[in-house]
Amino acid sequence: MFLGHFALAMAAKKVAPKASLGTLVLSAQFADCLWPVLLLLGFEQVQIVPGVTRVSPLDFVSYPISHSLLTELMWGLLLGAVYFFLTARFRNGDGRWRTLAGALAAGLFCPPS
């Protein structure tokens, strides 16, 4: 699961070479980094069921905020907008289009898990 996220971040680097690889990796991993926080806050649910899978005893009951398609798109747009506004003030003229491409790569390429 995580390997695919890293591969997508590295592929997005080809689309937006000016974007930081760290930013692209964060955008690809954002939902998986957000999920434990939402779980601890009680917004999402998981049950521990030994033997439910070979790898993990976690049975994912409900995780609508971090991993639904609609909220993934919203998180992606939010990350892209934050990236654009944080980096746009350091760019001039033609560099803003590259920043916009980097923002789209950083935000919209975060895959639904």
DSSP string, 37-99: HHHHHTSSEEEE-TTSSSS--EEEEE-HHHHSHHHHHHHHHHHHHHHHHHHHTT--TTHHHHH
- Would residue 9 count as lying in a domain? yes
Give the position of tokens 């070479």: 17
Structure-model confidence comparison of residues 91 and 36, the more confident one: 36
Q: For residue 74, what are the domain limits? A: 2-108
The confidence score (pLDDT) of residue 112 equals 47
- Tell me the Ramachandran region of residue 77: left when phi exceeds 0, alpha when psi lies from -120 to 50, beta otherwise: alpha
- Would residue 82 count as lying in a domain? yes
- How many structural domains are present in the chain? 1
Contacts of 96-99 spanning 24+ positions with Cβ under 8 A? 98/16, 98/18, 99/18
Overall average pLDDT of the 93-105 stretch:
61
- Would residue 113 count as lying in a domain? no
Structure-model confidence comparison of residues 61 and 98, the more confident one: 61
Four-residue CA torsion sign, 42, 44, 45, 46: negative
The confidence score (pLDDT) of residue 102 equals 63
